[in-house]
Amino acid sequence: SQQGEEDPQALSIQEGENATMNCSYKTSINNLQWYRQNSGRGLVHLILIRSNEREKHSGRLRVTLDTSKKSSSLLITASRAADTASYFCATAPPTGANNLFFGTGTRLTVIP
Amino acid sequence: DGGITQSPKYLFRKEGQNVTLSCEQNLNHDAMYWYRQDPGQGLRLIYYSQIVNDFQKGDIAEGYSVSREKKESFPLTVTSAQKNPTAFYLCASSTLAAMPTDTQYFGPGTRLTVL
């Protein structure tokens, strides 16, 4: 399967702490994306990192990519209660099909 | 106000019935997708379409059908052949200007329950 796997499945932290989520995948990629989903809602795109990039920042988000280990991490700094959501990684294959392969998600709970 | 809309938000189906979920986008995107999400799970691709009047099966197409008569619309029909249709259905779209796919934009979802 090309589907990614997030780790941990669930994470609970206090407001103000940092949250780190990891994603592992099995095949070569063109890019890897992170999405957020609030309960019962659609997904919202957070950040995209291409296979030739190693780190990317967007506001309080920091994403790293290690293609040799086929893994990525998402760091949310100074977490807020509003960050409570599920976070999914999605991989885009190098060529061919124009669709993404989503992981199973990490459920983040930020306690006020 | 650009975006993707899905309707209805909640849908109830009796066993043996076909139901159609609506997905409309005004982003002028070429590609559209349908995903299924089960509780605590990731997204699984049902069908996708890169151009009008053309669509491709995803990983779990059995029991579903789609059409793409207009660029803006990509309705999904859940047929009676789908044995376990209770799930959350998400529609998405993306441009084809960059291949492989870049960002996908998602609708708010339709929750289908079989009675």
Judge residue B37's burial from the number of C-beta atoms within 10 Å of its C-beta, 0-12 exposed, 13-18 middle, 19 or more buried.
Answer: buried
| Closest chain B residue by Cα to residue A89 | B42
Phi, then psi, of A8 in degrees rounded to 5: -80, 170
Chain B residues whose beta carbon lies within 8 Å of the beta carbon of residue A88: 42-43
CA distance A28 to chain B (A): 12
Cβ neighbors of A79 (< 8 A, separation 6 or more) are A13, A15, A16, A17, A18, A19, A108, A110
Residue B77: alpha-carbon gap to chain centroid? 9
Judge whether B27 is closer than 8 Å to chain A, CB to CB: no
pLDDT tens digits, B51-100: 899 999 999 999 999 999 999 999 999 998 888 999 999 999 998 755 55
Return the percentage of chain B with pLDDT > 70, whole number.
94
Report the number of secondary-structure helices (H) and strands (E) in chain A: 0, 11
pLDDT attached to residue A9: 93
Phi, then psi, of A61 in degrees rounded to 5: -100, 140
